[in-house]
A and B are shown apart, each in its own frame.
Chain A
Amino acid sequence: MSTPTVAGQPEANPRSGRPLVKITGLKKYFPITRGIVFQKHVGDVHAVDGVDLEVNQGETVGLVGETGCGKSTLARVIMRLYESTEGTIEFDGRDITHMKGGELRELRRDMQMVFQDPYASLNPRKTVGSIVGEPFQLHKTVERTKRKATVQELMELVGLNPEHYNRYPHEFSGGQRQRIGVARALALRPRLIVADEPVSALDVSVQAQILNLLSDLQKEFDLTYLFIAHDLSVVKHVSDRVAVMYLGKIAEIADGDSLYREPRHPYTGALLSAVPVADPRLAKQKQRIVLEGDVPSPIDPPSGCRFHPRCPQTKRLAKADGRTDGVEPRCMEEDPVLRPFAQGHTAACHFPLEDPIIASTGD
């Protein structure tokens, strides 16, 4: 596997080396306004609230979390589809946070996106050929006369029949449409692909086909993936490292296996225990931590640790301390920072889980 190097940059080890994407203190607030003429700023939705994340060249980083935790917003800020409120985004050593115009357009060649809904993300009035070939037209990387051949090559690469060049999206099934989306993302030979829930709209058997395709393409083109999904088992399967998000912040980052075996953040523990297992005996043995309530509103996130109103760990500790409010004071007052537990394993919790949750038999 070769790592393309940029002149003037020191060459790095492809796995542990210089990150391809590095975000620091990234925030994205959406303003809430009242009034029609004089729009008064009355608050903010704290969609992404201080995220640090590095994605290395050739690696797959998975991003999981419940609806509304900010994972899609984070992806769109990295893609420069949204302006960030605060913080910096570096791509391949360059600060791209405020990049504009022609430079930004150049940059878009290197980062592409695959969307969730293969029904909504393809223009129904265009043929597959023109959908997949449009990037060439915009970026003028392939001459007009060679376009058709290049598009057909791409179609073959993602497992579509190149003879279907002139067909429309409605003539394809869900899985095939997602392949079209992947072909379009690949057209400019990007280095980073951000996949936002690429398989959640597909049937399980087709989902496995697309996951295998993505991993084949990664090997072939040395791609870097940021893979967003709410399905933990899918994310663990594809990712080298998994970041768990809760209410705009990262709660825990680790490689898939240690996240599964030794989750440190109580939220990760609860998420893992909620995943259904296709094995009835195992499922019945499994201790299930059911989180109460819903994710709080990101307009006015809870003080201190954002997870404290739903956290089973703080509740248990408070009970042991004889407190009646069910919360440890530290969780309510102090916002935990990400701290390391093992090589490459960090979590943001004052009272992390100690025993591997899956093996534990009771309180």
Chain B
Amino acid sequence: MPEPLLEVSDLNVRFNTDDGVVRAVDGVSFSIMQGETLGVVGESGSGKSVSSLAVMGLVNRKQADVTGSIIFKGQDLLTLPNDEMRDIRGKQISMIFQDPMTSLHPYYRVGDQISEAILVHEDISKKEASKRAVEMLGLVNIPRPDQRARQYPHEFSGGMRQRAMIAMALSLNPDLLIADEPTTALDVTVQAQILGLIDKLKDEFDTAVMIITHDLGVVAEYCDNIQVMYAGRIIESGDTDDIYYQPHHPYTWGLLQSIPRLDEHEDRLTPIKGLPPSLINLPDGCSFAPRCPYRFERCDAEDPPLVPTDGHHADACFLTLEKKEAVVREELAVNQ
């Protein structure tokens, strides 16, 4: 079996606050292969962004306690000194953020911001770097890239700014691209353009992509594998068909049922009751138990581990497999 590009094992991120310890990420393990697209789905506060920031080495180690290991191409990023991490960040792992309005510098021309990233990592002249920047802008379908490169971010629309961010992230041909809610701030039409673009460029550069989102609809089409996070943990992971057609965790069921669907007419949505727990006082036992309609005694006493049912599908729930399959068949009525 080939080595995974990134292997995260037992990652914990804890923030010490005046109110107590916030367990933002709690024993998360996953891996990404070369060229794979991984979707990470969860609501606000589920730890999906913090785990990706930890991979990028962007969690402030003075404020947070990070343990576990993040092996990228054979080296543990958590033990790497800062200057070596700086070589990897941007060049081998790069990131696109949610809000393109705040992640570009308003005072610098877009082209200069892209060539700055290239100049930091490569020993080429300024002229060559700005030529590369223009090429990259053309590659992400920005019309008249030579003129656009000389403009400032405020002259770009939201979708174009996000495209400029993608151009910047891919300008050094990274092995791993992390996209944190890349389309949440955009309209559906632009969202379709951006996701299609990431997918196309992924094939062209053979980059592994990690897409973080709260919307199960967004990742359905583009991901090979999906992991669902809740309260700092992965509660279910599997390939795309597992998650959409054979989901095994009550939280995944809840997520799938609470999205209104265009192709069906439902009178009422089935929301998940209650609110996510505070990450300072997680409930004993399963952290989803207080909101779970299927809970029984064991759920309040023990914490369910993430157990694989076959080679690729794993979930953290005590219900029997027969029960889960029955629920999927009868209550979710997903088309198989």
Contacts of B244 in A (CB 8 A): 278-280
For window 147-174 of B, CB contacts with A under 8 Å fall at: 157-160
Contact with B along A164-175 (1 / 0, CB 8 A): 000000000111
Q: Counting chain A CB atoms within 10 Å of each CB, which of B187, B257, B270, B335 scores highest?
A: B187
Given A205-B258, A237-B260, check contact A230 B188 (CB 8 Å).
yes
Contact with B along A205-246 (1 / 0, CB 8 A): 111110110010000000000000011111011000000000
- Which one of A12-20, A72-80, A138-146, A288-296 is at the B interface? A288-296
Top-3 shortest CB links A-B: A208-B271, A237-B260, A276-B217
Enumerate chain B interface residues (CB-CB to A < 8 A): 43-44, 143, 157-160, 187-193, 195-196, 214-218, 220-221, 240-241, 244, 254-263, 265-266, 268-272, 275, 335
CA distance A237 to B158 in the complex (A): 27
Enumerate chain A interface residues (CB-CB to B < 8 A): 66-67, 173-176, 203-209, 211-212, 215, 230-234, 236-237, 256-257, 260, 270-280, 282-284, 288, 290-291, 293-294, 358
Given A175-B275, A203-B214, A208-B271, check contact A284 B221 (CB 8 Å).
yes
Whether the pair B220, A283 counts as a contact (CB closer than 8 A) is: yes
Partner of B214, one of A204, A232, A280: A204
Whether the pair A278, B216 counts as a contact (CB closer than 8 A) is: yes
Partner of B196, one of A234, A280, A290: A290
CB distance from A306 to the nearest CB of B (A): 15
Considering the complex, give the chain B residue whose CB is closest to the CB of A283. Answer: B221
Contacts of B272 in A (CB 8 A): 205, 208
Q: Counting chain A CB atoms within 10 Å of each CB, which of B159, B254, B271 scores highest?
A: B271
Contacts of A207 in B (CB 8 A): 258, 271
CB distance from A337 to the nearest CB of B (A): 24
Contacts of A288 in B (CB 8 A): 192, 196
Whether the pair B214, A257 counts as a contact (CB closer than 8 A) is: no
Given A67-B158, A204-B215, A294-B190, check contact A211 B260 (CB 8 Å).
yes
Given A230-B188, A270-B189, A280-B220, check contact A257 B265 (CB 8 Å).
yes
CA distance A32 to B179 in the complex (A): 38
CA distance A257 to B266 in the complex (A): 11
Considering the complex, give the chain A residue whose CB is closest to the CB of B46. Answer: A203
Considering the complex, give the chain A residue whose CB is closest to the CB of B275. Answer: A173
Partner of A230, one of B159, B187, B195, B262: B187
Count the A-B residue pairs with Cβ separation under 8 angstroms: how many?
126
Whether the pair B217, A274 counts as a contact (CB closer than 8 A) is: no
Q: Counting chain B CB atoms within 10 Å of each CB, which of A230, A272, A276, A282 scores highest?
A: A276
Considering the complex, give the chain A residue whose CB is closest to the CB of B243. Answer: A280
CA distance A208 to B187 in the complex (A): 20
Whether the pair A215, B221 counts as a contact (CB closer than 8 A) is: no
Whether the pair A208, B221 counts as a contact (CB closer than 8 A) is: no
CA distance A277 to B260 in the complex (A): 10
CA distance A236 to B265 in the complex (A): 9
Whether the pair A206, B271 counts as a contact (CB closer than 8 A) is: yes
Whether the pair B254, A274 counts as a contact (CB closer than 8 A) is: no
Give 17 A-B contacts (CB < 8 Å), ordered by A residue.
A175-B275, A204-B43, A204-B258, A205-B43, A205-B254, A206-B271, A208-B259, A208-B260, A236-B260, A237-B269, A274-B188, A274-B192, A278-B220, A280-B241, A280-B244, A283-B220, A294-B160
Partner of A204, one of B157, B191, B259, B261: B259
CB distance from B279 to the nearest CB of A (A): 13
Contacts of A279 in B (CB 8 A): 220, 244, 335
Whether the pair A260, B188 counts as a contact (CB closer than 8 A) is: no
CA distance A233 to B195 in the complex (A): 19
Considering the complex, give the chain A residue whose CB is closest to the CB of B291. Answer: A205
Whether the pair A277, B217 counts as a contact (CB closer than 8 A) is: yes
Whether the pair B262, A291 counts as a contact (CB closer than 8 A) is: no
CA distance A203 to B195 in the complex (A): 20
Contacts of A276 in B (CB 8 A): 188, 191-192, 195, 215, 217-218, 220-221
Given A67-B158, A208-B258, check contact A203 B220 (CB 8 Å).
no
Partner of B263, one of A215, A260, A284: A260
Contacts of A270 in B (CB 8 A): 189
